[in-house]
Amino acid sequence: MATAKGYVGKVVIVTGGGRGIGAGIVRAFADSGAQVVFCDKDVSGARALEQQLPGAVFIPCDVTQEAQVKALVSETIHRFGRLDCVVNNAGYHPPPQWLEETSAQGFRQLLELNLLGTYTVTKLALPHLRKSRGNVINISSLVGVIGQSQAVPYVATKGAVTAMTKALALDESQYGVRVNCISPGNIWTPLWEELAACTPDPTATVREGTLAQPLGRMGQPAEVGAAAVFLASEANFCTGIDLPVTGGAELGYGCKASRCTPVVLPTFPS
Protein backbone atom coordinates (compact mmCIF):
# COMPACT_ATOMS: atom_id res chain seq x y z
CA MET A 1 0.00 0.00 0.00
CA ALA A 2 1.86 3.06 -1.22
CA THR A 3 1.70 6.30 0.74
CA ALA A 4 2.01 9.79 -0.72
CA LYS A 5 5.50 11.25 -0.52
CA GLY A 6 4.61 13.53 2.35
CA TYR A 7 7.48 13.09 4.80
CA VAL A 8 10.54 13.52 2.59
CA GLY A 9 13.69 14.50 4.46
CA LYS A 10 12.28 13.60 7.87
CA VAL A 11 13.78 11.05 10.26
CA VAL A 12 11.60 8.58 12.15
CA ILE A 13 12.29 5.98 14.83
CA VAL A 14 9.87 3.03 14.98
CA THR A 15 10.16 0.54 17.83
CA GLY A 16 9.10 -3.06 17.35
CA GLY A 17 9.31 -2.52 13.61
CA GLY A 18 10.40 -5.98 12.49
CA ARG A 19 7.00 -7.51 11.80
CA GLY A 20 3.25 -7.06 12.04
CA ILE A 21 1.94 -3.55 12.71
CA GLY A 22 5.46 -2.26 13.26
CA ALA A 23 6.61 -3.45 9.85
CA GLY A 24 3.54 -1.84 8.28
CA ILE A 25 4.50 1.45 9.91
CA VAL A 26 8.13 1.18 8.78
CA ARG A 27 7.02 0.52 5.20
CA ALA A 28 4.57 3.42 5.21
CA PHE A 29 7.15 5.93 6.41
CA ALA A 30 9.75 4.63 3.96
CA ASP A 31 7.18 5.00 1.17
CA SER A 32 6.51 8.56 2.34
CA GLY A 33 10.14 9.49 1.70
CA ALA A 34 11.36 9.46 5.31
CA GLN A 35 14.54 7.94 6.66
CA VAL A 36 13.34 5.25 9.06
CA VAL A 37 15.37 3.79 11.90
CA PHE A 38 13.65 0.81 13.45
CA CYS A 39 14.42 -1.61 16.22
CA ASP A 40 13.21 -5.05 17.17
CA LYS A 41 14.33 -8.00 19.26
CA ASP A 42 13.61 -10.30 16.28
CA VAL A 43 16.88 -9.69 14.46
CA SER A 44 16.37 -12.08 11.55
CA GLY A 45 12.95 -10.68 10.57
CA ALA A 46 14.16 -7.11 10.96
CA ARG A 47 17.23 -7.69 8.80
CA ALA A 48 15.01 -9.12 6.07
CA LEU A 49 12.80 -6.01 6.17
CA GLU A 50 15.84 -3.74 6.08
CA GLN A 51 17.00 -5.47 2.90
CA GLN A 52 13.65 -4.72 1.24
CA LEU A 53 13.53 -1.01 2.10
CA PRO A 54 16.35 1.31 0.99
CA GLY A 55 15.06 4.06 3.28
CA ALA A 56 15.14 1.94 6.44
CA VAL A 57 17.93 1.15 8.89
CA PHE A 58 17.68 -1.59 11.51
CA ILE A 59 19.36 -1.15 14.88
CA PRO A 60 18.93 -3.93 17.46
CA CYS A 61 17.38 -2.58 20.66
CA ASP A 62 15.37 -3.86 23.60
CA VAL A 63 13.23 -0.90 24.71
CA THR A 64 13.16 -2.21 28.30
CA GLN A 65 16.91 -1.54 28.52
CA GLU A 66 17.60 2.17 28.89
CA ALA A 67 21.23 1.91 27.78
CA GLN A 68 20.14 0.30 24.51
CA VAL A 69 17.52 2.99 23.95
CA LYS A 70 20.15 5.70 24.50
CA ALA A 71 22.32 4.00 21.89
CA LEU A 72 19.39 3.80 19.46
CA VAL A 73 18.66 7.54 19.71
CA SER A 74 22.34 8.51 19.63
CA GLU A 75 23.04 6.40 16.55
CA THR A 76 20.03 7.90 14.79
CA ILE A 77 21.27 11.44 15.46
CA HIS A 78 24.82 10.48 14.48
CA ARG A 79 23.66 9.09 11.12
CA PHE A 80 21.02 11.62 10.15
CA GLY A 81 21.58 14.70 12.32
CA ARG A 82 17.97 15.09 13.38
CA LEU A 83 14.84 13.33 14.64
CA ASP A 84 11.32 14.30 13.61
CA CYS A 85 9.05 11.50 14.82
CA VAL A 86 9.04 8.58 17.21
CA VAL A 87 6.53 5.77 16.87
CA ASN A 88 6.31 3.68 20.05
CA ASN A 89 5.01 0.39 18.73
CA ALA A 90 7.01 -2.24 20.64
CA GLY A 91 4.67 -4.31 22.77
CA TYR A 92 3.21 -7.70 23.45
CA HIS A 93 -0.21 -9.26 24.02
CA PRO A 94 -0.06 -12.38 26.23
CA PRO A 95 -2.33 -15.36 25.54
CA PRO A 96 -5.79 -15.23 27.19
CA GLN A 97 -5.61 -15.58 30.98
CA TRP A 98 -8.08 -15.13 33.82
CA LEU A 99 -6.74 -12.85 36.52
CA GLU A 100 -6.01 -15.74 38.90
CA GLU A 101 -3.81 -17.31 36.22
CA THR A 102 -1.61 -14.23 35.96
CA SER A 103 1.32 -13.31 38.19
CA ALA A 104 2.68 -10.06 39.54
CA GLN A 105 6.01 -10.83 37.88
CA GLY A 106 4.36 -11.32 34.50
CA PHE A 107 2.41 -8.09 34.94
CA ARG A 108 5.61 -6.20 35.79
CA GLN A 109 7.34 -7.55 32.68
CA LEU A 110 4.42 -6.46 30.53
CA LEU A 111 4.48 -3.01 32.11
CA GLU A 112 8.21 -2.77 31.40
CA LEU A 113 7.62 -3.42 27.71
CA ASN A 114 4.23 -1.91 26.87
CA LEU A 115 4.30 1.15 29.11
CA LEU A 116 7.76 1.89 30.48
CA GLY A 117 9.38 1.14 27.12
CA THR A 118 7.19 3.84 25.58
CA TYR A 119 8.09 6.20 28.43
CA THR A 120 11.84 5.60 28.09
CA VAL A 121 12.02 5.99 24.31
CA THR A 122 9.94 9.17 24.44
CA LYS A 123 11.91 10.70 27.29
CA LEU A 124 15.25 10.15 25.56
CA ALA A 125 13.98 11.33 22.18
CA LEU A 126 12.28 14.52 23.39
CA PRO A 127 15.33 16.83 23.38
CA HIS A 128 15.72 16.13 19.66
CA LEU A 129 12.00 16.29 18.90
CA ARG A 130 11.81 19.70 20.56
CA LYS A 131 14.52 20.98 18.22
CA SER A 132 12.62 19.80 15.15
CA ARG A 133 9.16 20.54 16.58
CA GLY A 134 8.43 16.94 15.81
CA ASN A 135 5.89 14.49 17.12
CA VAL A 136 5.33 11.28 19.06
CA ILE A 137 2.91 8.54 18.02
CA ASN A 138 2.09 5.86 20.56
CA ILE A 139 0.50 2.62 19.44
CA SER A 140 -2.15 1.83 22.02
CA SER A 141 -5.15 -0.47 21.51
CA LEU A 142 -8.90 -0.26 21.24
CA VAL A 143 -9.18 -2.58 24.25
CA GLY A 144 -7.46 0.06 26.39
CA VAL A 145 -10.76 1.95 26.13
CA ILE A 146 -13.43 -0.75 25.82
CA GLY A 147 -11.79 -3.62 27.76
CA GLN A 148 -11.14 -7.22 26.77
CA SER A 149 -11.92 -10.51 28.43
CA GLN A 150 -9.03 -12.52 29.92
CA ALA A 151 -6.57 -9.69 29.32
CA VAL A 152 -6.50 -7.53 32.46
CA PRO A 153 -2.72 -6.80 32.47
CA TYR A 154 -2.61 -6.04 28.74
CA VAL A 155 -5.68 -3.78 28.88
CA ALA A 156 -4.21 -1.95 31.86
CA THR A 157 -0.93 -1.24 30.06
CA LYS A 158 -2.65 0.02 26.91
CA GLY A 159 -5.12 2.17 28.84
CA ALA A 160 -2.10 3.74 30.53
CA VAL A 161 -0.43 4.40 27.17
CA THR A 162 -3.53 6.29 25.99
CA ALA A 163 -3.68 8.31 29.21
CA MET A 164 0.05 9.07 29.09
CA THR A 165 -0.35 10.31 25.53
CA LYS A 166 -2.85 12.95 26.61
CA ALA A 167 -0.80 14.09 29.60
CA LEU A 168 2.38 14.37 27.54
CA ALA A 169 0.55 16.26 24.79
CA LEU A 170 -0.25 18.95 27.33
CA ASP A 171 3.32 19.21 28.60
CA GLU A 172 4.99 19.22 25.18
CA SER A 173 2.66 21.68 23.46
CA GLN A 174 4.82 24.55 24.75
CA TYR A 175 7.68 23.17 22.62
CA GLY A 176 5.56 22.60 19.53
CA VAL A 177 5.80 18.82 19.90
CA ARG A 178 2.59 16.96 19.13
CA VAL A 179 1.79 13.69 20.91
CA ASN A 180 -0.93 11.38 19.60
CA CYS A 181 -1.81 7.72 19.71
CA ILE A 182 -3.38 5.14 17.44
CA SER A 183 -5.64 2.46 18.88
CA PRO A 184 -5.85 -0.45 16.44
CA GLY A 185 -8.58 -3.05 16.69
CA ASN A 186 -8.27 -6.44 15.05
CA ILE A 187 -5.30 -6.17 12.70
CA TRP A 188 -4.22 -9.38 10.98
CA THR A 189 -0.64 -9.92 12.13
CA PRO A 190 1.57 -12.88 13.05
CA LEU A 191 0.82 -12.17 16.73
CA TRP A 192 -2.94 -12.30 16.10
CA GLU A 193 -2.47 -15.64 14.36
CA GLU A 194 -0.30 -16.95 17.22
CA LEU A 195 -2.86 -15.92 19.84
CA ALA A 196 -5.68 -17.53 17.85
CA ALA A 197 -3.66 -20.76 17.74
CA CYS A 198 -3.72 -20.83 21.57
CA THR A 199 -7.53 -21.08 21.63
CA PRO A 200 -9.53 -24.35 21.50
CA ASP A 201 -10.83 -23.60 17.98
CA PRO A 202 -8.44 -21.28 16.08
CA THR A 203 -10.63 -21.19 12.98
CA ALA A 204 -13.65 -20.06 15.00
CA THR A 205 -11.50 -17.48 16.80
CA VAL A 206 -10.32 -15.97 13.52
CA ARG A 207 -13.89 -15.91 12.22
CA GLU A 208 -15.09 -14.20 15.39
CA GLY A 209 -12.30 -11.63 15.09
CA THR A 210 -13.19 -11.00 11.47
CA LEU A 211 -16.89 -10.53 12.15
CA ALA A 212 -16.27 -8.13 15.04
CA GLN A 213 -15.95 -5.27 12.53
CA PRO A 214 -18.95 -3.77 10.74
CA LEU A 215 -16.67 -3.58 7.70
CA GLY A 216 -16.54 -7.39 7.77
CA ARG A 217 -12.80 -7.86 7.80
CA MET A 218 -9.70 -7.35 9.91
CA GLY A 219 -7.41 -4.46 9.25
CA GLN A 220 -3.98 -4.67 7.67
CA PRO A 221 -0.67 -3.38 9.09
CA ALA A 222 -0.37 -1.03 6.10
CA GLU A 223 -3.58 0.70 7.21
CA VAL A 224 -2.11 1.45 10.63
CA GLY A 225 1.02 2.65 8.85
CA ALA A 226 -1.01 5.05 6.72
CA ALA A 227 -2.66 6.42 9.87
CA ALA A 228 0.76 6.98 11.47
CA VAL A 229 2.07 8.86 8.42
CA PHE A 230 -1.10 10.98 8.44
CA LEU A 231 -0.62 11.94 12.09
CA ALA A 232 3.04 12.75 11.52
CA SER A 233 2.78 14.66 8.27
CA GLU A 234 -0.74 16.07 7.87
CA ALA A 235 -2.49 16.27 11.24
CA ASN A 236 -0.72 19.46 12.27
CA PHE A 237 -3.57 20.71 14.48
CA CYS A 238 -4.02 17.39 16.28
CA THR A 239 -2.40 16.64 19.60
CA GLY A 240 -3.51 14.40 22.44
CA ILE A 241 -5.90 12.47 20.20
CA ASP A 242 -6.58 8.74 20.19
CA LEU A 243 -7.19 7.65 16.59
CA PRO A 244 -9.14 4.36 16.37
CA VAL A 245 -8.14 2.16 13.43
CA THR A 246 -10.76 -0.47 14.11
CA GLY A 247 -13.15 -0.99 11.22
CA GLY A 248 -15.89 0.19 13.58
CA ALA A 249 -15.46 -2.69 16.05
CA GLU A 250 -16.48 -0.49 18.98
CA LEU A 251 -19.81 0.52 17.44
CA GLY A 252 -23.23 -0.84 18.36
CA TYR A 253 -24.43 -3.52 20.73
CA GLY A 254 -23.09 -7.06 20.80
CA CYS A 255 -23.43 -10.34 22.67
CA LYS A 256 -21.31 -10.06 25.78
CA ALA A 257 -23.10 -12.21 28.37
CA SER A 258 -22.55 -15.98 28.33
CA ARG A 259 -26.21 -16.69 27.52
CA CYS A 260 -26.77 -13.76 25.22
CA THR A 261 -28.97 -14.04 22.15
CA PRO A 262 -28.67 -11.35 19.51
CA VAL A 263 -31.11 -8.47 19.83
CA VAL A 264 -33.16 -8.03 16.67
CA LEU A 265 -34.77 -4.61 16.58
CA PRO A 266 -38.19 -4.35 14.93
CA THR A 267 -38.40 -2.71 11.56
CA PHE A 268 -41.20 -0.37 10.55
CA PRO A 269 -42.48 0.51 7.13
CA SER A 270 -41.45 3.94 5.97
List residues with catalytic annotation. Answer: 154
Q: Which three-class secondary structure state does DSSP give residue 232?
A: helix
How far is 190 from 57, CA to CA, in rounded Å? 22
Determine the residue type at 101. Answer: E
The span from the CA of 134 to the CA of 84, in Å, is 4
Quote the CA–CA distance of 41 and 63 in Å, as a whole number: 9
> Which residues contact residue 191 at a Cβ distance below 8 angstroms, ignoring those fewer than 6 apart?
20, 92, 93
The continuous run of DSSP H or E covering 225 comes out as helix 221-233
Phi, psi of 259 (to 5 degrees): -115, 30
The residue type of 156 is: A
Q: Is 261 exposed, middle or buried (0-12, 13-18, 19+ CB in 10 A)?
A: exposed
